[in-house]
Amino acid sequence: MKIDKSITNKSHLQVHEHVVAERLRRQRLNKLFIGLSATIPGLKKLDKASILKDAIEYIKRLEEQSKALEEEAGKQLGKPKHPNRIDTSDYHSSALISDIQARFCEGEILIKIHCKQPKQVTHKLLGELEKLHLTIINCSVIPFDESHDITIIAQVLGLGSFLIFTV
């Protein structure tokens, strides 16, 4: 049974370009398969299905491991549920700060705050730092999206550690 070539109005040249393109695509895919298999350690079967399967498995393992390590790093500092998060209810109640979060690591603290009135907030914060016997090393205020980001670096007297306030 003869197939009518006229229904597909592709020229022979176009058809050949199509097969060439498909060839290129295939070998591109295969390159990626090889690359993926190279990134996976302990892979014995170079079967495509095995590559994909072990890739999924490996990614999940890495994610669990990373999460576990991060939690462990956080636990070493005390607070279990939200690692390194400290109480910031006092600042929230002042209604001056739209968003604040804080973390600390090894005696260093990082606090991020979004606020509208940087002057009042910084003044308040510097007062708090004063109460805590902290030495201000650096303080910078930059405008960002109609509000401000403030970064404060403070140092604990006596201790060598720093407090990093990124407001």
Partner DNA sequence: ACGTACACGTGACAC
Partner DNA sequence: TGTGTCACGTGTACG
| Residues lying near DNA in the complex (CB under 7 A) | 3, 8-9, 14-15, 17-19, 21-23, 25-27, 30, 46-49
For the segment 116-135, give every residue that binds a copy of itself (CB under 8 A): none
Residue among 18, 23, 28, 119 that touches a copy of itself (CB under 8 A): 28
Cα–chain center distance at 115: 23
- What is the distance between the alpha carbons of residues 26 and 59, in angstroms, rounded to a whole number? 25
142 near a copy of itself, rule: CB under 8 A: yes
- What is the distance between the alpha carbons of residues 68 and 73, in angstroms, rounded to a whole number? 9
Total binding residues for a copy of itself by CB under 8 A? 48
**Across-strand partners of 134?**
156
The interaxial angle of helices 48-75 and 12-39, nearest 10 deg, is 40
Q: Which does 126 bind (CB under 5 to 8 A by kind): a copy of itself, DNA, none?
A: none
Q: Which does 89 bind (CB under 5 to 8 A by kind): DNA, a copy of itself, none?
A: none
Residue among 14 and 120 whose Cβ is closer to DNA: 14
149 near a copy of itself, rule: CB under 8 A: yes
Q: Around Cβ 24, how many Cβ atoms within 10 Å?
A: 10
Residue among 11, 39, 89, 93 that touches a copy of itself (CB under 8 A): 39
Which ranges of the chain does DSSP label H, i.e. alpha helix?
Answer: 12-39, 48-75, 89-93, 118-131
For the bound state, the minimum distance from the C-beta of residue 93 to a copy of itself, rounded and expressed in Å, comes to 26
For the bound state, the minimum distance from the C-beta of residue 11 to a copy of itself, rounded and expressed in Å, comes to 22
Q: Which does 15 bind (CB under 5 to 8 A by kind): DNA, a copy of itself, none?
A: DNA
Residue among 16, 48, 119, 133 that touches a copy of itself (CB under 8 A): 48
Sequence-distant (≥ 6) Cβ neighbours of residue 57 within 8 angstroms? none
- Segment holding 147, helix H or strand E: strand 147-156
CA dihedral 74, 78, 80, 81 (to 10 degrees): -90
